Amino acid sequence: QTRNAVTLSAFNESIYFDLTVEFPLLTTRKIFYDGVLGELAAFVRGPKHLDDFKKWGCNYWGPWANEDGSIDIDYGNKWIDWRGYNQLEALVQGLKEDPNGRRHMMTSWAPENVLGDRLSLPCCHHTYQFYVRRGFLDMHWIQRSTDVMIGLPSDAVLAAAMTMSLAKAVGLMPGEVMMTLGDTHIYALHMLEARELLERKQRNPPRARYTGSGLTDFDPTKLRVDSYNPNESLKFEVIA
């Protein structure tokens, strides 16, 4: 029994994908990824209101907003302003000037906001480390809480888009992404649909390319996905 529902939970799981081979969109059900790309566009600009998401085509933040539409989250906001420090710009600069460095990291986890209960939703994914490998940019993504049926497919797209656009900004090719997941769960209310999903056949994964300039001004219209041919969609109830 958790904060919002009964779950089936495991701890310290991981997934891996290689962006030179595939773009991580599920093929066992259709993923409407435009909203996820819009979410990233809002994050890098510091979202404060539902309209900051909606203007980019992301329409699913409503359950966590205040009555006036404002929203208090550290996603993105801490990337560009951690007590006056822009982590995102520093990340780009560091990768350009010292690609072999071991400090290419960014975090959203502000304990004073989480423990002080100041947020509409504490960050689920919170720490991102990047590594340069023979002209490729790899990413390690760390997540404290993972809703496998709804959240994880979107999180994988977000991680891929971050890596692809950051690689473009620093003159590298997008490489491998490893996602480390803490509390990894399926809501009990999703189990029937989860079993149906497992019975479906996988299809060939799509490929993608990013033609924009970088991550700090990420443009969702510049990420083009090719040959995405999934099974039909499968609806899951959103549990806030």
The residues that are catalytic are: 124
| Residue 231 DSSP class | P
| Angle CA 14–19–24, to nearest 5 | 60
- Under DSSP, the state recorded for 206 is P
Burial class (CB in 10 A: 0-12, 13-18, 19+), 97: exposed
Residue 115 tokens read as 């423990």
Which residues lie closer than 8 Å to 215 by C-beta, 6 or more apart? 44, 88, 92, 162, 165, 166, 168, 169
